[in-house]
Structure 1
Amino acid sequence: MSTIVTIQSLGQRAEGVAEIDGKRIFVPRALPGERVEIEHDGDRADLLAIENASPARIAPFCPHFEQCGGCQTQHMDTGSYQAFKSSLIETPLQFAGIQTPVSRFVDAGGDGRRRATLHARREGSGYMRARSHQVEPIEHCPILVPALARAPAMTSAVYQAIGEADVSFTATLTGLDVAVRTGKKRANAKALEPLVARFRLARLTLNGEMVLQTQPPAVRMGLATVELPSGSFLQATKAAENFLAEYVIEALKGAKNAADLFCGVGPFAFRLAQSSKVFAADSDDAAIKALDQARRLTRGLKQLTAQRRDLFREEMTRFELVDFDAVVLDPPRAGAANQVRELAASKVKTIVMIACDPKTFARDAATLIGGGYKLDNLVAVDQFVHSTHIEIAATFRR
């Protein structure tokens, strides 16, 4: 049975929020102020029709938008979109007692995402539908870089070769790095081999094991060319990596000795090492080895030391940090609570935090502020365009 409701606000997943009998109902693709017809089950609803559209509503550019779960915000105009994404950062900060607004919103979509994971299923190849384990078949995804234009076709070819699988793509300087994962214990790797030549792949792996490699996938980071380990972390867009690196360099200008914590393969370490001594640490052994190999082959760097270290269990202590006048950290979604506590107790002058989860960022920011730091230059970096994810760049100074 359908119901007419008025949308009061937006939730964290960009769903319109209405109330029925005092209970919050979440309506995908609905905007505040709209009067809409819905059909709901519990607190989740399907949007059936829009009686009064918001002035902020625009036509989505992708024909799959209403079914595909890859994007959630193509129906918002620019002002509403940026305000929503900024609120994803500001609201958790306010709950943590921090009244710092976003000072700048950066469109870091660039040429599109250079990383994506598609799903090969019986119904087709594409992204999962919203709130579903069913795949929305697609032939083209407009938010990907041109080098990934054939990703849906490649995903279909994987299904034809070995059946259901998840296929992750990374566009690199030397070609596509493709990682296939399947629940089958005896998936036929041989059946995948022809795809390397057919789609001109740099590397193809199956469940973490090499199938074929024509050349090592590589990316440029400052003066260095880094060969990517399979499955290693990389910012979703090149534009975002470039902006974040510029932000870090500017914030840490003049630093003589910097630590890059959760350094990955070195997007910040290599650029910082052009003017500062750098200590880089990460728990990912393959990433550290790739960073160190690139360091040995790169000229024009100051001292750059890379160390495998689990900063969740073996954080750098306030006593070790006494040697550094600047720190940059880019932790995963869980944040870096233990490491941040040591930083808050240290005498490091400047800390830059790059974060992908607003809630854990707010928690860690509160710890640093409690330790005597001031939050400055809070930037929303929108590399996951049209999604509900946002990257954060922030500077903390004593």
Structure 2
Amino acid sequence: MKQGTFASRPRKRRPKKGAKSPQDGRKIDAEVETIGGQGDGLVHLDGALYFAPDTVPGDRITARVGAARGGGHVLEDIVRHEDGPTRIRPFCGHAGACGGCVAQHMSDAAYRLWKVERIGEALTRRGLGDVEIEPLVTTPLGARRRLTLSAVRRGGKVSLGFNARRAHRVVDLEGCPLAAPALCALFAPLRDLFAALAREGLALDKAVQVLLTACDGGLDAVFRASCAPNLNMRQRLVDFAARFDLARVSWDNADGAGPEAIVVHREPYMTFAGTRVALPQGGFLQASAEGERAITAAIARRVGGAARIAELYCGMGSFTFALAQIAPVFAVEGFAPAVRALERAAGRAGLGGMIRAEVRDLDRAPLDARELKRFDTVVFDPPRAGAAAQAAALAHGAARTIVAVSCNPATFARDARILVDGGYALQSLTPIDQFAYSAHVELVAGFAKK
């Protein structure tokens, strides 16, 4: 089997989570054959499939057979006797333990191939394997402007970082080489803050999260816990925001009401195509400015000549304002605060005649063929679950051009199959590595009416 490629295998019934197998605990000797979709090395032995984390094709290993997962078994306690030709030394000391990255041990060429083939395999499964996939667009280290960190206390010590791979254990970190320096600088102070909040009554026996965003207008933090902050906790948060110059600190206690602003020193905002847009508390944002620019450019070169654009799942306008430089845009999004922020920004920028926005749950109420008649071009950027209902409506529409943005190759391929069956041709596809060294990959693809 060719090194660095996917193994095609039939779908099997998934075992129950945590289910054990008679093979559990048995040791095997094997050579890793290829890389799977989640970044594990794959081994086929005696008719069984095994997943070997942190390995590359050509690694010769001895390992213990662990729990069943995804039609195979996870290998544990892996000992490498010989390294495969594409193995390199990870640049982060937490690689292999931290669940944020799964591919730092791959050479650059092998890594790029793996990311592209993740998309190719998903398309092939839907009978769309002949589409042109362009070279992977990468993003640099230190570019991530948004992180979700977890904090938990064990044995009197607070750990802050990301979850371990396939585990609820938090890997304690001092920083992350993928993250913006301004975010890394908060790791140690946040650990101390969580310890102080615990002394004031915050339960840390289970992980509490904080969403950090490096905005154009300063740092934004949203704490997520199962309880509301008491008065002493609020004072700790106010003091922390003042000491480290955070633009805003909010608290979301999962009661369904959304985050509460604890302190706002100034409005956190992002700038899209020269237009300043206020960041809604907890609102969606592309992971990096570099990734956002790459996606915007890939969309723009596919919608040239558009007369009227429908932008679906528009968020707070990451692409809306760039699209409005091409043609009038009807922007639709289900998260009301994002739509309000977009509308206010468009009004302040004098773009009310070019941008119209609507709050709408497109999964439950997609734009139908009658509504879509007004637009010759449609851009849609759904969440990971994709946009099956909206894709079905688009397949019956008359738009000349459709551009899809996706962070999930599997659901993209499903939606692409719907569009192709409805009379569209899937044209070139741009893969974008927004989430470097993870198993995730972003893509932008164009469809043309036949």
Asked if Structure 1 and Structure 2 have the same fold, meaning a TM-score greater than 0.5 normalized by the shorter chain, the answer is: yes
- Match of 2:301, SS? helix
- Match of 2:419, SS? helix
Letter in 1 for 2:92: C
Give the corresponding residue for 1:147: 182
- Shift of the alpha carbon at 1:108? 2.7
Name the CA distance, whole Å, in 1 between partners of 2:46 and 2:144.
42
CA RMSD, Structure 1 to Structure 2 (Å): 1.5
Name the CA distance, whole Å, in 1 between partners of 2:341 and 2:383.
19
Question: Is the Cα–Cα contact under 8 Å of residues 330 and 357 in structure 2 kept in the other structure?
Answer: yes
Worse-superposed segment, 251-260 or 44-53: 44-53
Residues 235 and 21 of structure 1: is their aligned pair in 2 closer, same or farther, counting only changes over 3 Å?
Answer: same
Query: Which of 220, 237, 243 in structure 2 is aligned with 1:198?
Result: 243
Question: Is the Cα–Cα contact under 8 Å of residues 6 and 36 in structure 1 kept in the other structure?
Answer: yes
Give the corresponding residue for 1:12: 37
Mark the runs of 5 or more structure 1 residues left unpaired by the alignment: none
Q: Alignment length, in residue pairs?
A: 398
Letter in 2 for 1:262: Y
Give the corresponding residue for 1:126: 161
1:334 equivalent to 2:385? Answer: yes
Aligned pairs for 1:64-143 (under 5 A) are 64-99=94-129, 100-109=131-140, 111-123=142-154, 124-143=159-178
Give the corresponding residue for 2:224: 181
Name the CA distance, whole Å, in 2 between partners of 1:331 and 1:63.
34
Residues 111 and 300 of structure 1: is their aligned pair in 2 closer, same or farther, counting only changes over 3 Å?
Answer: farther
Give the corresponding residue for 2:83: 53
- Shift of the alpha carbon at 1:190? 2.7
Residues 347 and 24 of structure 1: is their aligned pair in 2 closer, same or farther, counting only changes over 3 Å?
Answer: same
- Shift of the alpha carbon at 1:17? 1.3
Question: Is the Cα–Cα contact under 8 Å of residues 141 and 178 in structure 2 kept in the other structure?
Answer: no
- Match of 1:281, SS? strand
Residues 306 and 50 of structure 1: is their aligned pair in 2 closer, same or farther, counting only changes over 3 Å?
Answer: same
Aligned pairs for 1:1-398 (under 5 A) are 2-42=27-67, 43-99=73-129, 100-109=131-140, 111-123=142-154, 124-163=159-198, 164=204, 165-185=208-228, 187=230, 188-207=233-252, 208-299=259-350, 302-398=353-449
- Shift of the alpha carbon at 1:3? 3.0
TM-score calculated relative to the size of structure 1: 0.96
Name the CA distance, whole Å, in 2 between partners of 1:348 and 1:129.
45
Question: Is the Cα–Cα contact under 8 Å of residues 28 and 47 in structure 1 kept in the other structure?
Answer: no
- Match of 2:177, SS? coil
Name the CA distance, whole Å, in 1 between partners of 2:141 and 2:27.
41
Letter in 2 for 1:97: G
1:89-134 alpha-carbon deviations (Å, 9 max, x no partner) = 1111101011224222111346411010111112411111112111
Question: Is the Cα–Cα contact under 8 Å of residues 18 and 26 in structure 1 kept in the other structure?
Answer: yes
Name the CA distance, whole Å, in 2 between partners of 1:306 and 1:110.
35
1:188-228 alpha-carbon deviations (Å, 9 max, x no partner) = 33332211012110110111111101011101001310000
Name the CA distance, whole Å, in 2 between partners of 1:45 and 1:23.
12
- Match of 1:104, SS? coil
- Match of 1:45, SS? strand
- Shift of the alpha carbon at 1:338? 1.0
Residues 69 and 232 of structure 1: is their aligned pair in 2 closer, same or farther, counting only changes over 3 Å?
Answer: same
- Match of 1:319, SS? helix
Higher relative contact order (CA 8 A, sep 6+): 1
Residues 168 and 154 of structure 1: is their aligned pair in 2 closer, same or farther, counting only changes over 3 Å?
Answer: farther
Letter in 2 for 1:191: R
